[in-house]
Amino acid sequence: MIKNLLISFVFIFSVSIESQEAINQWVFNALERAQLNVDKGNLEAAEKIYYDYASGTYSSKSYDHFVLLRTYGFFLLQQDRNADALKYLIQADQKRKMPPMDVFNLKYILGQIYYVEGQKDKAKETFLEWIKIGTDNQFDLRPEGYATLATIYAQDSDWDNALIYITFAMDNTIVFVENWAQLKFAIHIQKKQYMIALEVAQDLVRVKPKNKAYIEQMAGVYNVIKFEEESLASLEFKLQQNLLKKSSEYINLANFYLYKGLPIDSSKVIKKGLALGVLDNNIKNNELLSNAYIIAKDFDNAVNSLINVTKLSDNPKYDYRIGQIYLQNSDYKNAIKFLKIARTKNWDGTAGSLEMLIGISYIELDDFKNARIELAKAIALGKEDEAESWISYMDSTDSLRAAAAAN
């Protein structure tokens, strides 16, 4: 689990290069020798260098020692020796008058490690120190840190602080993180803030419309707030009379229709809200509209809604989704077009899946040359088992065609 922090380590090192403090040449040479041993797989020799230099005698303000301790700690983390790593990282943290950016980054890593190791109180204390240093120095505070701190407060049933920090996390990222939304939903339920919980539940259903757990969560909130036939009738009447003035009313009615298995009615509500300008023409509302169309099996309008989303967002998942819809409806040329657009935007789903879909689309178009190119890419990305059956199909088809031509 601790290896998930290695991405953070890369970030730390990249920032440390820009530190106003510089290490002495002999420290740089020692670290370079250790890294060469790591690169060669000679971890024992690398550790001896780290240990010998980190265990020396230095002043309490030595930046050289700080860097040696920190680097040794990171090395130990990569070997899953968490307790040993903590020992040296704590020593680094005890150094006095280190550059604020270096301390800031070290606090973040320490907070994550304390949390992973189950030391919640120390993790909380360290993250709060990280936030203070970041705020005082106007450093960028990573939303992952806020989210971890929120989780700690939630585990302690401190719902007020948990809500503060999970809100900070979600407000400071452009990516929708399901786990964070689930936590925010749970916090609002604990605080009996059911209308806000409903909004979060609706966001989760929008992102994962086929997830039964999310649908059940949303249904549960509807039951709690008693949003049933009377509420539905009231909103329907207002809709017919153009009396719905709040975007939340349109969203609630549209989601309730989806919950009741009426996706066509849901799409009509969203479309009307967009046409009247009550609903913003944004990613969230167009994605909700496309989900309603998909559930209603109105794939042409689903694609049109998603194309609107691609005009508002560069996220390749929408192009990929359009490609999937076209493929499912045997429009292979458009499937290839949008799947390739997703690839140019660096789609980061399951490796090889996109190439498999493009390859299959080419097979359906009887373009075996390009299909083989795409399936070769899929194999290189770990999809050998899936690709081989399609390659065998093309081989046998080519053989049959060659035999028929010979006759």
Q: Tens digit of pLDDT for each residue in 299-318?
A: 999 999 999 999 998 999 89
pLDDT tens per residue across span 341-399: 999 999 888 888 999 999 999 999 999 999 999 999 999 998 888 888 899 999 988 88
3-class secondary structure per residue, the chain: CHHHHHHHHHHHHHHHCCCCCCCCHHHHHHHHHHHHHHHCCCHHHHHHHHHHHHCCCCCCCCHHHHHHHHHHHHHHHHCCCHHHHHHHHHHHHCCCCCCHHHHHHHHHHHHHHHHHCCCHHHHHHHHHHHHHHHHHHCCCCCHHHHHHHHHHHHHCCCHHHHHHHHHHHHHCCCCCCHHHHHHHHHHHHHCCCHHHHHHHHHHHHHHCCCCHHHHHHHHHHHHHCCCCHHHHHHHHHHHHCCCCCCHHHHHHHHHHHHHCCCHHHHHHHHHHHHHHCCCCCCHHHHHHHHHHHHHCCCHHHHHHHHHHHHHHCCCHHHHHHHHHHHHHCCCHHHHHHHHHHHHHCCCCCCCCHHHHHHHHHHHHCCCHHHHHHHHHHHHHCCCHHHHHHHHHHHHHHHHHHHHHHHC
Mean pLDDT of the chain: 86
How sure is the predictor about 9, in pLDDT bands with cuts at 50, 70 and 90? Answer: very low
**pLDDT over 70 at 11, yes or no:** no
The whole-number pLDDT of residue 16 equals: 45
Number of separate domains in the chain:
2
Give the domain-ending residue among 141, 163, 187: 141
In sequence order, what are the residues at sequence separation of 6 or more whose Cβ sits closer than 8 angstroms to the Cβ of residue 83? 117
**Mean pLDDT over residues 223-238, rounded?**
66
Residues 6+ away with beta carbon under 8 Å from 72: 50, 51, 54, 88
pLDDT at 228 over 50: yes
- Which range among 48-57, 153-162, 398-407 shows the weakest confidence by mean pLDDT? 398-407
Residue 8 has pLDDT above 70, yes or no: no
Of residues 356 and 198, more confidence is placed in: 356
Among 175, 173, 170, 211, residue whose Cα is nearest residue 187 = 170
pLDDT per position as a tens digit, 144-182: 999 999 999 999 999 999 999 999 999 888 778 899 999
- Residue 163 inside a domain? The answer is no
Q: Tokens 């046409």 correspond to what residue?
A: 275
In-domain check, residue 226: no
Q: Is the pLDDT of residue 224 over 80?
A: no
Structure tokens at 38: 């790591």
117: in domain: yes
pLDDT(3) > 50: no
Q: Is residue 326 part of a domain?
A: yes
Q: Which residue has the higher pLDDT, 129 or 8?
A: 129
The pLDDT of residue 129 is above 90: yes
CA distance 208 to 358: 24
Structural domain ending residue among the three candidates 126, 141, 156: 141
Confidence of residue 407 (pLDDT cuts 50, 70, 90): low
Give the contacts of 9 (CB within 8 A, at least 6 positions apart): 74, 77, 109
| Any domain includes 302 | no
The pLDDT score that the predictor gives to residue 15 is 40
d(CA 341, CA 255): 30
The pLDDT tens digits for 70-127 are: 989 888 888 888 888 888 899 988 888 888 888 998 999 999 889 988 899 999 999 9
Q: What is the model's pLDDT at position 7?
A: 39
Q: What is the value of pTM for the model shown?
A: 0.61
CATH of residue 120: 1.25.40.10
Residue 370 within any structural domain of the chain: yes
For 112, the domain range is 2-141
- What per-residue confidence (pLDDT) applies to 181? 93
pLDDT value, residue 64: 87
Domain stops at, among 123, 141, 159:
141
| Strongest mean pLDDT among 14-18, 19-23, 279-283 | 279-283
**Whose structure tokens read 């309008």?**
301
Higher pLDDT, 343 or 207: 343
Q: Is residue 54 part of a domain?
A: yes
The reply to whether 88 falls in a domain is yes
**Predicted local distance difference test score (pLDDT) of residue 164:** 95
